[in-house]
Amino acid sequence: MANVTVIGTQWGDEGKGKIVDWLASRADVVVRFQGGHNAGHTLVVDGKVYKLSLLPSGVVSGKTGVIGNGVVVDPTALLAEIERVGQQGLNVTPENLWVADTVPLILPLHGALDRAREAARGEHQIGTTGRGIGPAYEDKVGRRAIRLCDLREPETLEWKVDELLRHHNPLLASLGQKTFTREEVLSHLNEVAPKVLPYACHAWDRLDAVARQGRRILFEGAQAVMLDVDHGTYPFVTSSNTVAAQAGTGSGMGPRSTGFVLGIAKAYVTRVGAGPFPTELSDETGRRLGERGHEFGTVTGRPRRCGWFDAVLARRAVRVGGVNGLALTKLDVLDGFDEVAICTGYELDGKRIDAFPSAPGAQARVKPILEFMPGWKENTAGARSWAELPAQAIKYVRRIEELTGAPVTLLSTSPERDDTILMHDPFEG
């Protein structure tokens, strides 16, 4: 049986949490391989709502969850999330949550710098969540990160904190912000160390054993391809690679581990924060999509910008993300629209182009070329078989397949776990 890697193909918030939760019932282990607690996955199971940020969605299904080395971890946020889901009846312990001991840690100074720099950008803000993810990844690449394993060595921790402060305090001071003392940082780390270290392990080694036993591994991506630091709408992106190729690197399992790559896409498009959005609807239709889809960020609570499905960006995500099949979510949100639309290309400076430009100025100037199709009056909400879908909805799905070059292998028709239509089982490869 194949492993499965789930990634977003738009700007995040495509409903990955539900799909991963649904697939997790047939997996043995679920792995997060990038991002931090800027990701938000909302799961609805038997009417109960779970909001996860760092924990792999598989914990709701009682599966072993893994936070891989490609993730940046705020230990305070992780402990708070474990406590919160515990109050909902989910018991997360070192037996069912493995955290790579090489994960870089997000500290309070990272969040402070993140927020200060975003404020200093003024009208050029990129829409960061302000939770310190970017500065933590910078420290990782700059070889000054404090990693989870460092909490075991007080003598290592002291000189690494000194090095960290030599970098961060001048930046904070230049932005008019409070600086941090060695004692403050060490006190914070010494407080969280005994609580988080029990979860630390050689995750790569345990995952290798799982693979050798022939057990199924589900890799869970955060954010989405168009937020990838290399392939997304730079600089309005996240600070990590979100494509499926990162699953091997961010877990320590290597490039052959990804298996079937399932790309998640909404039947329309949303975006949180700043950045180009060619199909954005700032009218009554956009408002209607937002209200019907309950489009508010899981992490930030900010209203999501809404627009028509962009097949050009989705096709790009399919190619650079290595997507084998699409999972189309929130088709039911389009129920009752007189017509629906798909972006099939762009107009830039009076000329048609069929690929999204790389430079931010050109990205801001593109206009969508829309193909309109008749909508459908019938309800798709709760449909669990292809035969239950109205003809026009099926035509819409087929057109998305044609334009993106990827088959729709799974269709979600409500937030509930079982309201799902499966055309092809990703675990069958």
Residue 121 to residue 321: CA distance in whole angstroms: 30
pLDDT on residue 142? 96
Q: How confident is the model at residue 7 (pLDDT cuts 50, 70, 90)?
A: very high
Give yes or no for a contact between 248 and 256, defined as CB atoms under 8 angstroms apart.
yes
Residues 97 and 67: beta-carbon distance below 8 Å: yes
For the stretch 56-68, pLDDT in tens is 988 888 899 999 9
Give the model's confidence band at 248: pLDDT under 50 very low, under 70 low, under 90 confident, else very high.
Answer: very high
- For the chain, the average pLDDT equals 93
Residue 1's pLDDT band, with cuts at 50, 70 and 90, is low
CB atoms within 10 A of CB 61: 22
How many residues comprise the chain?
429
Residue 118 dihedral angles phi and psi, to the nearest 5°: -65, -40
Domains, the chain: 4-101+200-260 (3.40.440.10), 108-196 (1.10.300.10), 266-428 (3.90.170.10)
> How do residues 228-237 score in pLDDT, each as one tens digit?
999 999 999 9
Average pLDDT over residues 296-306: 77
> Above 70 in pLDDT, residue 290?
yes
Cα–Cα–Cα angle for 370, 396, 387, nearest 5°?
170
- Lowest mean pLDDT segment, chosen from 219-223, 299-303, 393-397: 299-303
Measured CA to CA, the distance from residue 184 to residue 228 in angstroms comes to: 34
**pLDDT recorded at residue 47:** 74
pLDDT greater than 70 at residue 298: no
The predicted structure's pLDDT at residue 299? 61
Say whether 412 counts as a known binding-site residue.
Answer: yes
13 given a catalytic annotation: yes
Looking at residue 49, its pLDDT comes to 84
What value does the mean pLDDT take over residues 260-267?
Answer: 97
Among residues of the chain, what percentage have pLDDT more than 90? 78
Spot the catalytic one: 37, 63, 110, 140.
Answer: 140
Can you give the pLDDT at residue 197? 98
- The closest of 363, 366, 325 to 349, measured between CA atoms, is 366
Residue 235 has a CB neighbour count (10 Å cut-off) of 11
Question: Given 13, 114, 150, 419, which residue is catalytic?
Answer: 13
- Reported in sequence order, the residue ranges of 27-106 that DSSP labels E, i.e. its strands, are 29-32, 41-45, 48-52, 64-67, 97-100
Helix axes 108-120, 133-141, angle to 10 degrees: 110
pTM of the model: 0.93
pLDDT in tens, 154-171: 989 999 999 999 999 999
* pLDDT classification of 297: cutoffs 50, 70, 90: low
* Residue 143 in marked binding region: yes
Across 278-307, average pLDDT: 88
Supply the pLDDT for residue 16: 82
The answer to whether 401 is a known ligand-binding residue is no
Known binding residue 352? Answer is no
Quick: pLDDT tens for 348-395: 999 999 999 999 999 999 999 999 999 999 999 999 999 999 999 999
pLDDT band at 17 (very low <50, low <70, confident <90, very high): confident
The active-site residue, picked from 21, 37, 41, 101, is: 41
Tell me: is residue 382 an annotated ligand-binding position: no
